[in-house]
Every structure is written in C-alpha cells, then in structure tokens.
Amino acid sequence: MGPLELLVVAFWVMLPAYVPNNAAVLAGGGAPIDGGRTWKGRRLLGDGKTWRGTIVGTLIGIGVAYLLNVFQPTAVSAFGVSVPTFPLAVMITLPLGAMLGDMAASFIKRRTGRNRGAPLPGVDQLDFAVVALVLTALVAFEWVLAVFTLPLLVVVFVVTPVLHVVTNVLAYLFGFKHEPW
C-alpha cells in the first residue's frame, strides 16, 4: 500500500468512529447520562455527556459503517483501494467504543478537577480512537489483525488528532460547539 492508499484506508476504517462525536455535538442536549450525580463533590461525567447525544451518535456511526459496506465494492473496483468491509459486530463497536472513549475522558477530566468543556490535550484527540479500536479488538480480534497493519495503525494515530482538531475548530466557528477543542 502506498501512502495515499494508506491515508484513504485509514480514513475509511475509522470513519464509523469519527462521525459519532460530531453527530453527538449536533444531537446533544437533554438528560445527562450521570443524572446529575456527583462523586467527591464533582459531577460523574457532566452535562456534556447526554443520552440523546450518545444514542444518536452511535446510531449514526452504525449507519455510516453500513453505507461504507454498501460502497465498498465500488471503492475497490472503481478506485482500486483495498478498503475492508465491516462485520456486524464491528459496525457497532467502532461507534459505541468512540462514544465510550469520549465518556471515559470526561470521567477522567471531572476526577482531575476539570469542568465541562475544559481541554485535556492528547486525551481529547485520541480517547475515542483508542477505545473504539480496543473494543473492536475484543470482539473481532481476527478482523483487527487482518485490517490494521503497523503502517495503517501509525497513519491512524497521526491522522486522527489532525482531523479532530480541524473538525472541532470548524464546529466552533460554525457555532455548533462552545469551545474550539
């Protein structure tokens, strides 16, 4: 695989994990998952993690994986890029893992005294990708091994933070987000 194809495949396999966070930003609001509960005087997760955002985000991510599966033969034959299809379990674990990773980061932020919206550089940019991949590896280890070669993994971990920064700045500029991170 050349560098350009690596880039395309990295984006393709991670798209079901990328979209949920953005969908959650657009769909978010309503009841927080932690129900307002606190631990040691601080919110468990905070108002930024809602049921609606999480459920809509996960469902949209599943829809994205489904669409990519539909277009996979076209991508392979028309553009010659060897993108994989997503098994059913992976269609769920990529978006769900992404949402759980984002939630875990909020949990850590609250425990370390950071209020809703406070940045945690590094963690904010990679939490969703790491948990999406770990959860996927837990249920579809063979698939992960076959798809994620070392070069692809390297590209994913370089491209993901860049995309995260760019999309969040755009979401902020367009008024969808309160902070540009």
Interface residues toward ligand CTP, by CB under 6 A = 24-25, 28-29, 46, 48-50, 53-54, 99, 102-103, 106, 109, 116-118, 177
Quote the CA–CA distance of 41 and 57 in Å, as a whole number.
29
Residue 13 vs 24, nearer CB to ligand CTP: 24
In the complex, minimum distance from the CB of residue 143 to ligand CTP, in angstroms, rounded to a whole number: 25
Tell me the residue number closest to ligand CTP, measured at CB.
53
CB of 21 to ligand CTP, least distance (A): 7
Q: Give me the least distance between CB of 61 and ligand CTP, in Å please.
A: 12
**C-beta closer to ligand CTP: residue 53 or 155:** 53
Query: Cα(154)–Cα(134) distance, rounded to whole angstroms?
Result: 15
β-bridge partners, 50: 32
| Sign of the dihedral through C-alpha 112, 167, 56, 94 | negative
Nearest of 59, 61, 28, 60 to residue 45 by alpha carbon = 28
Q: Residue 103's closest CA among 44, 173, 144, 148?
A: 44
Residue 169 Cβ vs ligand CTP, minimum distance, rounded to whole Å: 12
